[in-house]
Amino acid sequence: MQRPTDYRVIPELPASVYVAPLKRPTGVGEDWLESAQRRYSAEEHRVWDDLYERQMKLMPRRACKEFMFGLDRLNLHRGGIPDFEEISEELRGLTGWSVVPVPMLIPDHVFYYHLANRRFPAGNFIRSREQFDYIQEPDVFHDVFGHVPLLTDPVFASYMEAYGRAGWKALKYNRLKALSALYWYTVEFGLILEEGELRIYGAGILSGPTETVFSLESRAPHRIHLNVDRVMRTDYTISDLQASYFVIESFRELFHMTEQRGFEPIYESLVPGFQYAKTAALDTDHIYHRGTQEYELRGGRGSGASPNC
């Protein structure tokens, strides 16, 4: 008989699974956690405040209501980079989650381990003024402003834990790319219907002004109802605006389509790699908006293409 998975220990990487070789900094253990949150300079706190103010101008009627509730509930308006311990205390009482500091992007299997234990690893650093508009590595603003407010929602909080647990089986079936695509099109770049209107819940969108507007208002990208089997087969863009966004009706629907259905049958049906291009619109898709793909086809960032198309 198979032993039940112990989610309290870091999963082993099977030899068949290849993960990007990240160099673990000295001073952090196997769990990649730093012993404490950094002490930030006054300028670093000001960078947070300026990023916060810029995003908050765009949040009303664009961010979903659960996100706005989470911002209030965690008192993220208080000014300065939030104290992880303070927000964790509040979160623990609400959904059992906590926020823990990591020095940089961490390996997938360690990330799964923390999520499965309701710990959200947050970058322990903030971008500089020079990187104010764009940073590829997730910093404390992306992680705490973008991700943490939704951890106050009980259903979304359960989805995140379930996602972490799903990592163990993704390792077993060697389907990490597929599981990453799911994270990308939900947790990072997801849209949700709210009283018939599209709203944003993805942290990758909510932590930057250009995509906050582009994802909802541009004619360029597709907006398609989320089908888990479909998105886990779909390629995605890492360092530019997305060509397609996927829409859910509710977090309950998202939880139902993944954890309640079970990840195993999904992994079993997947082939390695992606089958669909990020610009694809399939006959089987329920499409809310068929995009022109103008931004993508013109070459995206660096090509001079305008995100306002």
Q: Which residues are catalytic?
A: 142, 147, 188, 207
> CA-to-CA distance for 132 and 135, rounded, in angstroms?
7
Closer Cβ to Fe ion, 204 or 221, answer by number = 204
Shortest gap between Cβ of 208 and Fe ion (angstroms)? 11
- The β-bridge partners of 198 are 193
Pairing of the two strands 119-123 and 98-102: parallel
Pairing of the two strands 119-123 and 197-200: unpaired
Shortest gap between Cβ of 202 and Fe ion (angstroms)? 9
Beta-carbon count within 10 A of 30 CB: 10
Closer Cβ to Fe ion, 180 or 279, answer by number = 180
Give the DSSP H or E segment for 191.
Answer: strand 191-194
DSSP class of 76:
G
> CA-to-CA distance for 182 and 168, rounded, in angstroms?
15
> CA-to-CA distance for 208 and 134, rounded, in angstroms?
8
Residues 115 and 189 sit within 8 Å (Cβ to Cβ): no
Residues 183 and 202 sit within 8 Å (Cβ to Cβ): no
Shortest gap between Cβ of 188 and Fe ion (angstroms)? 5
Give the Cα-Cα-Cα angle 269, 290, 254 (nearest 5 degrees): 45
Closer Cβ to Fe ion, 15 or 238, answer by number = 238
Concatenated DSSP letters of 121-150:
EEES----GGGSS--SS--HIIIIIIIGGG
Closer Cβ to Fe ion, 138 or 291, answer by number = 138
Interface residues toward Fe ion, by CB under 5 A: 138, 203
Shortest gap between Cβ of 298 and Fe ion (angstroms)? 26
> CA-to-CA distance for 182 and 99, rounded, in angstroms?
22
Shortest gap between Cβ of 176 and Fe ion (angstroms)? 16
Shortest gap between Cβ of 142 and Fe ion (angstroms)? 6
> CA-to-CA distance for 148 and 222, rounded, in angstroms?
27
- The β-bridge partners of 197 are 194
**Three-state secondary-structure class, residue 89:** helix
Closer Cβ to Fe ion, 71 or 305, answer by number = 71
Closer Cβ to Fe ion, 11 or 204, answer by number = 204
